[in-house]
Chains A and B, each alone.
Chain A
Amino acid sequence: MKTLVCIGCPNGCELSVEEKANDILVSGNMCPKGKEFAINEIKNPVRSVTSTVKTVYEEVPRLSVRTNGEIPIKYVFPLMKLINTVEVDHPAKRGEVILKDVFHTGVDVIATSDMNYMLRGVK
């Protein structure tokens, strides 16, 4: 038996997970996402990653980004390495894909700020 804290939402349900033969029993979850989270945590834990990338604009030197889905936890630091090599050279829009299909996970890294607004605003 293992206890976990679900990170799906601010409720932070305390989950009890029990591996039985071919089944994983989860209790303590207030919603189905909790179960999904617990099973993932046992089989293949995944996380979303948020960070920033460099830009060429002096006034807005960093652009915030995130993964648009979750990636296996083992890719978190490799993804940071990858993210750190990017330099955005145009006013990216919110939601714009900055890195596509990272580590063949099907997950993209997308911009989360609107650089046009940021550049306009600081002028």
Chain B
Amino acid sequence: MKSLNKIKSAINKNVNGEVYLKEWHKSIILEGKVKSWDDFIKAGQIAANKGYKGVVNNMEVEGFKSPPIKAPSIKDGTLDGKKVDVLVIGGGVTGCSILRELSKWDISCLLVDKEEDVAMHASSRNDGMVHPGIEPKPGSNKARFNVEGNRLYTQIAKELDVPLNRTGSLVLFDKKILKAAFPIVDARRKKNGLDKIKLVSQSEIKKYEPYADDNVGGALFFPSTAITCPYKMTVAYGENAVMNGAEISLNTIVLSIHKEEDKIVYVETNRGKIFPKVVIDAAGCFADVIADMAGDKFFSIHPRKGEILILDKKKGRLLHSVLAKPSLTIVKGNTKGGGIVKTVDGNILVGPDAYEQPLREDFSTHMENINAIANKHFPILPGINKGDIITYFAGVRAATYEEDFIVEKSEYVENLVYAAGIQSPGFASAPAISREIERITIDVLSKMMKVKKKENFNPYRKGIPDLSLMNENDRSELIKKRPDYGVIVCRCEEISKGEIIDAINSPIPTRTIDGIKRRVRPGMGRCQGGFCMPQVLNIISKEKGIDPTKVTKKGEGSNILVSETKQSK
């Protein structure tokens, strides 16, 4: 453990501003004021991993005031006085997978999320890659959960009926780097417990990816890399939990946490007070806010943003797995540098990049980043160009200064469990993290009550049928039973009215344009919903019995329409 004074002087040498340090609960708290966000981050990074549990960065940045958390305006008492055994805060893949694993047990579980749907933040804003687990530092939580999560995904995808392609990934290297890289990478592979990787010679590259640029020294092939759909996976986890008796309350934000002695008694939300036996913090970019509410903020989240491009399916034939070319070395601290991914839906995805910025809920994109991503990655797949881009979006990673997952019971609050700091490869790690959280939670809960497994837990969840992938006879049969399956609404993605209605009435019901888009894809294609969006709106309006002006894109305030015409009468 380095002395605080040493850390302080290292910070003040490298950072513009005045920084004060103090120790609290084995963590370092940074206070003071710095000039820029870069300074803010740098200070946190210098203080990290110096033998303390965590870095709590409470500094101010000149001229910057953190905007308030976006909160639903609804206030009611639907949850007031509700007693549950476990309360999960956060409906990303981490929270939803935890809810599902806990739904195996004969206990009451409730998940709350402040958004209109699950998977609204990082879980719908990543590349869907199930990383092999080569990049995390050996011995880290990331390494452990990534490798384990990767292995678990085959079974999980089968149980939850979510497409998963274990294609492997091909990492291209320039000649000079390849020779040096292989032994380093292979040594790390062994330490992290991965399957064997393969050294691919230049002449073999085309065997793996016929359209890749093979004007390189060679490549490494990681056979265990898989691709799945991150938001479909999150929804599927959530749905399976709901099928098994768990509850999900959306548009529900945690406002405060009330403890007596070292135990949480109730959690106040905009829908009333919830009385849980155990609370799980899976709040993504707001995990430190939740910890603070519980008086246990021993870490800080700093939002690390990334942008992603999606290309037309037409170019899908150019790739069948994952392709990347690290610019310097594969072992780079913060960013994996992104790559090119063939999504399970057949599109090509490019990115993400990674950059520090202060906003936790800013999902805006920027031209310079879009250009940089294209310039960086397009050359390794020469058949693609900027004209193939059909959309782009941004996500924000919930990074801690320690750059590792926090998967543990709180040291100071008896009934609080953390699944925090879950950034990349968090999606790949979810099946393993959720099992570990399940174990910890059940352990904590067992001290308060008798806990037993459910007898009738059903691990299988059936997804909404994708008729475009069915054989003709099955498709005809299904259409005969439900004629709505024969009405194609989205022409780019070949999605029927029946599939849209299924999404509206699914176990985590949705009534937003984006919610339906994430579940069954209308609007994901090249016309970006130009033709089908009004149809989807009409279907939602009819199915839900709500006025068309009340239909939203993604929840409160995002209404598609303003008013009816001809109202002068």
- The answer to whether B371 has its CB under 8 Å from any CB of chain A is no
The secondary structure that dominates the B interface is loop
Q: Is the pair A52, B569 in contact by a Cβ cutoff of 8 Å?
A: no
Say whether B567 faces chain A, with CB atoms less than 8 Å apart.
Answer: yes
A97 to chain B minimum Cβ distance, whole angstroms, is 19
Asked if B568 and A81 make an inter-chain contact with CB atoms under 8 angstroms apart, the answer reads: yes
The reply on A87 being an interface residue by CB < 8 A is yes
List A48-65 residues whose CB lies under 8 Å from chain B.
52-54, 62
Cross-chain contact B566 with A54 (CB below 8 angstroms): yes
Q: Is B473 an interface residue (CB 8 A)?
A: no
| A40 at the B interface (CB under 8 A) | no
The residue in chain B whose Cβ has the minimal distance to the Cβ of A58 is: B542
Q: Which of B512-569 contact A (CB under 8 A)?
A: 565-569
Check B569 against A87 for contact (C-beta < 8 Å).
Answer: yes
Does A85 contact B568, Cβ atoms closer than 8 Å?
yes
Question: Hey, which chain A residues are within 8 Å of B565, CB to CB?
Answer: 52, 62, 84
Tell me the interface secondary structure of chain A in the complex. strand
Chain B, Cβ-Cβ closest to A53: B566
Of chain B, the residue at the smallest CB distance from A82 is B568
**Identity of the chain A residue whose Cβ is nearest the Cβ of B567 in the assembled complex:** A84
* A53 cross-chain contacts in B, Cβ below 8 A: 566
Alpha-carbon separation in the docked complex, A84 to B565 (Å): 8
Complex Cα distance, B568 from A87, in Å, reads: 11
Query: Which chain A residue shows the least CB distance to B568?
Result: A84
Q: How far is the CA of A87 from the CA of B567 in the complex (A)?
A: 11
Q: How far is the CA of A54 from the CA of B568 in the complex (A)?
A: 11
- Complex CA distance for A58 and B359, rounded to whole angstroms: 45
- B568: chain A residues at CB < 8 Å are 81, 84-85
How far apart are the CA atoms of A102 and B269 in the complex, in Å?
Answer: 59
Give a binary string over A80-96; 1 marks a CB under 8 Å from any B CB, 0 the rest.
01011101000000000
Could you tell me the distance between the alpha carbons of A81 and B569 in the complex, rounded to whole angstroms?
Answer: 9
Chain B proximity of A61: nearest CB distance (Å): 9
Within 8 A of B (CB), among A72-121: 81, 83-85, 87
Q: Which residues of B contact A83 (CB under 8 A)?
A: 566
- Hey, which chain B residues are within 8 Å of A87, CB to CB? 569
Complexed CA–CA distance, A53 and B66 (Å): 49
What is the bound-complex CA distance between A83 and B566, given in angstroms?
8
The CA of A53 and the CA of B565, in the complex, are separated in Å by 9
What are the residues of chain A within 8 A of B567 when measuring CB–CB? 84
Q: What's the Cα separation between A83 and B569 when bound, in Å?
A: 10
Which A residues touch B569, using CB under 8 A? Answer: 54, 84-85, 87
Bound-state Cα–Cα, A54 to B565, Å: 9
Instruction: Give every chain B residue within 8 A of A85 (Cβ-Cβ).
Output: 568-569
A81 to B567, CA, bound (A): 10
Interface residues of B in 276-312 (CB under 8 A from A): none
A121 to chain B, nearest CB (A): 13
**Which residues on B sit within 8 Å (CB–CB) of A62?**
565-566
**Cα-based distance from A87 to B566 in the complex (angstroms):** 9
* Chain A residues with CB under 8 A of B566: 52-54, 62, 83-84
Residue of B565, B566, B569 with highest tally of chain A CB at under 10 A: B566
Chain A: CB-nearest residue to B548: A61
Chain B: minimal CB distance from A49 (Å)? 15
**Residue in chain B with minimal CB distance to A80:** B568
What's the nearest-Cβ distance from chain B to residue A111, in Å? 15
Cα A16 to Cα B565 in complex, Å, equals 39
CA distance A83 to B565 in the complex (A): 11
Contacting residues, chain B, for A54 (C-beta < 8 A): 566, 569
> Binary interface profile of B, 192-216, with partner A (CB < 8 Å = 1, else 0)?
0000000000000000000000000
Give the shortest distance, in Å, between B210 (CB) and chain A (any CB).
Answer: 47
Bound form: Cα–Cα A37–B569 in Å: 35
CA of A83 to CA of B567 in the docked complex: distance in angstroms? Answer: 11
17 contacts between A and B (CB under 8 A): A52-B565, A52-B566, A53-B566, A54-B566, A54-B569, A62-B565, A62-B566, A81-B568, A83-B566, A84-B565, A84-B566, A84-B567, A84-B568, A84-B569, A85-B568, A85-B569, A87-B569
**A-B CB proximity, top 8 nearest:** A84-B568, A84-B566, A54-B566, A85-B569, A85-B568, A81-B568, A84-B569, A53-B566
Beyond A54-B569, A62-B566, A84-B566: 14 further Cβ-contacts under 8 Å?
A52-B565, A52-B566, A53-B566, A54-B566, A62-B565, A81-B568, A83-B566, A84-B565, A84-B567, A84-B568, A84-B569, A85-B568, A85-B569, A87-B569
